[in-house]
Amino acid sequence: IEKSAKEFEDSIYQRDRELFGHELSPGIDGDVRLTVLNTPLNGAGGYFSSADGVVKAVNRFSNEREMFVIGINSYPIGDPSYGSTLAHEFQHMIEWTVARRSPSWFNEGMSTLAEDLNGYIDNNTPRRYLEEPDLQLTTWSTDAATTGNHYGASQLFLRYFYQQYGSDAGIAELIKADAGNNLDVFAQVAARKRPEIKQFADVYADWAVANVLNDPNIDGGRYAYKLLPGPAATSELKGDQGAALVNQFGVDYYDGLTGPMTLSFDGSDSVGLIGTEPREGKAMWWSNRGDDSVETLTREVDLSGVKSATLQFAAWYEIELDWDYGFVTVSTDGGKNWTTLQSTTTTTSNPQDANFGNGFTGVSGSPGTETDKGVRGAWIDEKVDLSPYAGQKVLLRFWMVNDAAYNAQGMALDNIRIPELNYADGAEDGDGGWQAEGFVRTSGELAQTWALRLIRTNGGTPSVEPVAVDEQGRATVQLANGERGTLAVIGTTPFTTEPARYSYSVTKP
């Protein structure tokens, strides 16, 4: 244990701080020292919990110190995996200090990069990702079957970016700029070397090509990086016509294209923001989403002229079960204190100390269902009794509160009514007096954008060509006689985790 402690203090601690920034020191306990708890763990090899960085009055599970936990049944003290996990978890501690809302895909990618740059190279999860590359880079999952693939995708992307555009100082810059939530920060950094890069999709597409090509002799080496454990899996077109789905910032590779041929691509020009449209009309309120985030929707309600009142609204939600919650609350003192209200589908269950009273969690219409099981939310008619507040003016507020690590689609609201006041608002005509902080009015639809890349080979060095896609999502790929090609199809719409639809047809002379 002394050897491992010395390795951490003399090497890992210094290297992580050079790369990523500094932890809070002295910490909440007033001590500059860190605590490492070595104990057997089930379900995790190690973890850093931001709850330990707040007082028990805020989170009763807090240990009130800067610490992380290593599962010594998985990573024995003195084993290289133990040092790797120290590097990984310490980066989480630093990133929580520098950028507290950093999303998991970016945060975990930085922690696996910490392993790389401390000399602990592990390509287990990158191999899993390369076997199934149609996985959205910019999100995360709680499903154990795919979590490893997400680790692998994030590790490879940040490995690529560090080698192409990064430096020790540049990595810290990405964290400070909250690049995981502000994707075009990657493009801004990359454009210093390659000014033609304009958006994150350009960076992603280059990385996607590198994962199948990995040739440092093409185009200044932009399609290559070290420590790639093998090419990504490809497939062949299934006949002369076909249709498929691809995830946003995921990729489908079609190999074995042979000229002469013309491939006509027809991608959808729109995609859902979340898994629903407005309950009625053309607009709804949506809570937005993000790790370690709080969003609110507030307005004053005058109940002074009634003896009873009922809040009615339609709700749709997909919220991480038992960890994240939506609330409807009331304040009688101008917003200093809030009381959560019981609604039709709220729960008082509070296994993680994250439910502030009566909260919405899980999947609407399917109580107790986790959001990663393929079950989609349904619109539910909700009802809240406001009668205890009759005779006074109050503030009414909807909340969405997400913890760190994972966020699902969030909550949508429509057709908000208080019949006793003849009040009704379907989000159709402006904000309707609501003050939104994080919540947004939306139609639930986004423009679907695309990035297509063709790797063309004609007996010599391959070339990589961007394929122009018009506003309707249409594109044409042509190969001459004797040419071969691999086509990468990438959905590039940010903010959504809904997949993109496309079809293709092939003609030959």
Q: What is the pLDDT of residues 180-215, one digit of tens each?
A: 999 999 999 999 999 999 999 999 999 999 999 999
- Indicate the angle between helix axes 104-117 and 168-176, nearest 10 degrees: 160
Task: Say which residues have a Cβ less than 8 Å from residue 367's Cβ, sequence separation at least 6.
Answer: 345, 347
pLDDT surpassing 90 at residue 19: yes
Q: Would you give the distance in Å from CA 186 to the centre of its chain?
A: 16
Strand-pairing partners, residue 505, are 241, 264
Answer yes or no: are the C-beta atoms of 340 and 347 closer than 8 Å. no
Instruction: Give φ, ψ of 261 to 5 degrees.
Output: -165, 160
Q: pLDDT band at 503, cuts 50/70/90?
A: very high
| pLDDT number for residue 395 | 98
CB atoms within 10 A of CB 195: 8
Long-range pairs of 196-201 with CB within 8 A, sequence gap ≥ 24: 200/494, 201/249, 201/449, 201/451, 201/490, 201/492
DSSP letters, 9-68, are IIIIHHHHHHHH----SS-TTS-S--EEEEE--SS-SEE--GGGGS-TTT-TT--SSSEE
Strand-pairing partners, residue 67, are 35
- Closest among 153, 360, 210 to 202, alpha carbons compared: 210
Task: Say which residues have a Cβ less than 8 Å from residue 118's Cβ, sequence separation at least 6.
Answer: 11, 12, 15, 16, 83, 84, 87
| pLDDT number for residue 59 | 84
In the chain, CATH 1.10.390 covers 1-207
| pLDDT tens digits, 392-437 | 999 999 999 999 889 999 999 999 999 999 999 999 999 999 999 9
**Residue with the two structure tokens 């133990």:** 82
User: How large is the greatest C-alpha to C-alpha distance in the chain, in angstroms?
Assistant: 84
- Closest among 365, 396, 397 to 382, alpha carbons compared: 365
Q: pTM to 2 decimals?
A: 0.94
pLDDT surpassing 90 at residue 73: yes
In the chain, CATH 2.60.120.380 covers 234-270+447-507
The third-level CATH classification (topology) of the domain covering 234-270+447-507 is Jelly Rolls (2.60.120)
3-state SS class at 440: strand
Rounded distance, CA 488 to CA 267, Å?
13
**What would the mean pLDDT of 376-399 be, rounded to a whole number?**
98
| pLDDT tens digits, 315-339 | 999 999 999 999 999 999 999 999 9
**What would the mean pLDDT of 487-491 be, rounded to a whole number?**
99
The third-level CATH classification (topology) of the domain covering 1-207 is Neutral Protease; domain 2 (1.10.390)
Among positive and negative, which fits the CA dihedral 464, 470, 475, 477?
A: negative
* DSSP secondary structure code for residue 458 in this structure: S
> What tokens were used for 102?
């950093």
> What tokens were used for 450?
């695309």
The third-level CATH classification (topology) of the domain covering 284-443 is Jelly Rolls (2.60.120)
> What tokens were used for 12?
């890992």
